[in-house]
Structures are given as structure tokens and as C-alpha cells.
Amino acid sequence: MDIERKKYFKAINLRNVTILFLVSYFGIFVIYPIYKAFAGSLHNWNPLIDQYDFIGFDNFKSVLTNSLFWSSISNTFIFAFFSVLFRIIIGLGLAILLNSKLTKFKSFFRGMFYMPTITPLVAVSFVWMWLYNPQFGLINKVFDLDINWLKDPNWALPAIIIMTIWKDFGYATVIFLGGLMGLPEEVFEAADMDGANRWSCFRHITWPLLKPTTLFVVITSLISYLQAYVQILIMTEGGPGTSTHVISYLIFDEAFVKYNFGTASAMAIILFIMIGILTMIMFKITGENEGISK
């Protein structure tokens, strides 16, 4: 009895410590930063001169009437939309190929496709800057092009999107491959007996069953790409002009270059709200589709 009692109290203590740790971690690294950002957005805040004057919603008014903010929002959503779209298309396509019984060396290709995902973004950005170089870059040489990729306002953002897709499609490939490997084989065998071709199987069986996996990839990708910053800073520094200004870069510029922490906090709160709304919309759409399919 004493041994069982000791084990019981030990389990309770471990559980309490775990709960305390999780609550503390969530409070310190999630709740407090959100509170601090919201409080800062209501102040004229410059820590360098110890300025913290309450101004209400003036920062939000200033942000929402700033044309650069809206052009940055536009660039952010263009970047996120095409990056997510092609990440899913390429990732799902490669996952289907890797899941095929005809594909050999599945583990090798899975690791090879995932390798860019775990490569530091800073290193990848510098390599692609070399590839995009108009004089000796490999892309212009191979495809016989004459494009100044990162200095042309029409090509700078597409160039960063292409690099981002290349780096991240392996993530979607691995996630979709896991989803495909978990699908019931008997459903496909029954469809094959009924004479369904590959496109019919994909459209009516594979794609509907992969909707939860797709939702996961879309939401995690959106959250990541709406906060994209590193590749912008290294490859273009928001230029040429403001053609690659995205919201995260603008927030950084306001906070750590201009030291307008109040304005930067207001932008961060607006971005936080946008991500929350998009996530809820995605869940709602998926829930409605699942209800219709049932």
C-alpha cells in the first residue's frame, strides 16, 4: 500500500509540475507578449528615450491610413497565396509519386526533397542570390534569360516566391505522404474493381480523404508565410523601392530602424487579427465541406 501510495503521489506531483510549467510557459511566451504588443500599440513608445505616452488608437489610425502599409499587406498576401498554392500542388504531386508502388528508393527521395526544408533560410537566401545574379547566375545562364531578378520591381517578389517554394515544398511532401500512407487500401481496391481510373480515384477518394491534411498544411503555411521576413531582408531589403515590402519587414523597419515601437505594435496586432480570421475561415469552410460530404 505504501509503495502504491508513493507512486500515486509521485504521479500527481509530476502532473502538477507539468501543468505549472505549461501554464508558465504559455503565460510568459504567449500571453504576455500579446498583452505587451497591444498595450504598446496604444502608446507613443520609444524605449531609447524612455518615451511611453498614452495616445489611444492613434497608432491604428496612422497605420490604416498609410499607403505603404496597404501595399505591404498586398505584397504579403500575394506572397502567401502563391507560396501556399504551389507548395500544396508540388508537395501533393510528389507525395503521390513517392507513394506509388512503382517508385523505388522512396526513403532516399523523401529525405532528398525534405533536405531544403531543414537547411537554414539564411544560407538558402545567399545561395539563391548567387543563382539570380544577372551576370553569372546559373538561372539566367541555363534558361538563356536576361533578367535582373532582384533589382527589377516586376521580378523581385516572384523571385523570392520561387525560392520559398523550392525551399519548403518538401515539408508538404512529407505531410501529404504521411496522409496517403494512412488511407484505407480497401477503398481503392473497391474503386479499382468498379473500373475507376486514377483521376476518378484522386478526385472522389484521395482528395476528400486528404482534406484534414490539406487544412493542416494550408494553415501552418499561411501562418508562416504571412510572417515571412528573413528572405526579404537578405535578398532585397524590401526593394527595389517597396516592391517586396511585406508586413513583417515593415514591422521590423518601424520598430528597430525608426524606433516607432507603438506603430510597429499596432501593425503586429493587425497582422495577428488577420491570421486569426483567416484560420477561422479555413476551419469553417472545411467544417461545412465535411458536413456536406456526410
- State if pTM tops 0.85: yes
Q: How far apart are CA 7 and CA 26, in angstroms?
A: 28
- Specify whether the CB–CB gap between 265 and 209 falls below 8 A: no
The predicted model gives 136-157 an average pLDDT of 93
pLDDT at 50 over 60: yes
177-226 tens-digit pLDDT: 989 888 888 887 787 777 777 888 888 888 888 988 998 999 999 989 99
Q: Which domains does the chain have, with CATH numbers?
A: 2-59 (no CATH), 66-293 (1.10.3720.10)
Q: What is the mean pLDDT of the chain?
A: 88
pLDDT at residue 103, rounded to an integer: 63
pLDDT at residue 6, rounded to an integer: 57
The predicted model gives 117-146 an average pLDDT of 93
The predicted model gives 241-266 an average pLDDT of 93
pLDDT at residue 74, rounded to an integer: 95
pLDDT at residue 228, rounded to an integer: 92
pLDDT at residue 10, rounded to an integer: 58
Winning range, highest mean pLDDT, from 67-76, 111-120, 211-220: 67-76
pLDDT at residue 5, rounded to an integer: 59
Nearest-5° Cα angle at 76, 92 to 166: 35
pLDDT at residue 253, rounded to an integer: 92
Q: What are phi and psi of 159, to 5 degrees?
A: -65, -40
8-17, 41-50, 68-77, 94-103: range with lowest mean pLDDT? 8-17
pLDDT at 292 over 50: no
Half-sphere exposure at residue 38, Cβ-oriented, CA atoms within 13 angstroms: 7
pLDDT at residue 102, rounded to an integer: 59
